């Protein structure tokens, strides 16, 4: 029971830290841990239903904080906007990508990080293009191939930030998990013996 409690506390703290990090002012465009969290949760969490909660709660908490800050004119970014449901749906998909990642194989973690970031970039920006821009972007793109390419080109700084963040936070999450299991759990087992 103690191990299960520590796992729940660890996940709650992870969600809170990631949520607070996402709203930090001045962080690089797209540099947030949520994509790495979705990949990590899909790969690590045994109960697949629970694995979806980690990135979704993190997004929801930070969106609530964003909305409160926006309502009090402390942030130019609203927490809730039209089309946001798609964003949450994409994170569900990214968690599914994590199902295919073997937590013990760094090359799979690397491939999963690149694939999930690229998938999110391609699908979210396609949705912006097809929808004529989200409330927060106010960028209507013409429904032509040129408009689509312009939409993708405008989002490259976000993609770059997301890719760096996903690679770094994946290394922290998967590496931390590996070290905890290898060293601390072994010591815990040995101390009980």
Cβ-based neighbours of 16, under 8 Å, separated by 6 or more: 61
Residue 166: which CATH number? 1.10.1760
What are the start-end ranges of the E strands in the chain? none
Name every residue whose Cβ is closer than 8 Å to that of residue 73 and which is 6 or more positions away in sequence: none
Task: Give me 115's structure tokens.
Answer: 């694939």
Nearest one of 155, 149, 78, 91 to 120, comparing CA atoms: 91
Mean pLDDT to the nearest integer, 128-155: 79
> Lowest mean pLDDT: which of 68-72, 73-77, 121-125?
73-77
Find the domain containing 158 and state its range. Answer: 2-192
Burial class of residue 8 (count of CB atoms within 10 Å of its CB; 0-12, 13-18, 19+): exposed
pLDDT classification of 160: cutoffs 50, 70, 90: very high
Give the total number of structural domains in the chain. Answer: 1
Enter the tokens of residue 18: 């990631």
């Amino acid at each position: 029971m103690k191990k299960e409690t520590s796992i729940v506390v660890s996940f709650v703290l992870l969600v809170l830290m990631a949520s607070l990090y996402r709203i930090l002012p001045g962080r690089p465009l797209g540099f947030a841990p949520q994509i790495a969290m979705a990949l990590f949760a899909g790969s690590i969490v045994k109960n697949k239903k629970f694995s979806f909660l980690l990135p979704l709660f993190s997004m929801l908490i930070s969106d609530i904080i964003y909305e409160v800050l926006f309502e009090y004119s402390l942030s130019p970014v609203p927490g809730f906007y039209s089309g946001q449901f798609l964003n949450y749906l994409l994170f569900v998909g990214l968690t599914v990508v994590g199902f295919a990642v073997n937590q013990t194989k760094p090359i799979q973690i690397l491939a999963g990080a690149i694939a999930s970031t690229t998938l999110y970039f391609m699908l979210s920006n396609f949705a912006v293009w097809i929808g004529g821009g989200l409330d927060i972007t106010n960028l209507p793109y013409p429904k032509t191939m040129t408009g689509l390419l312009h939409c993708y080109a405008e989002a490259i700084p976000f993609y770059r930030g997301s890719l760096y963040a996903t690679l770094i936070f994946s290394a922290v999450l998967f590496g931390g998990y590996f070290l905890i299991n290898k060293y601390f759990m072994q010591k815990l087992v040995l101390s009980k013996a």
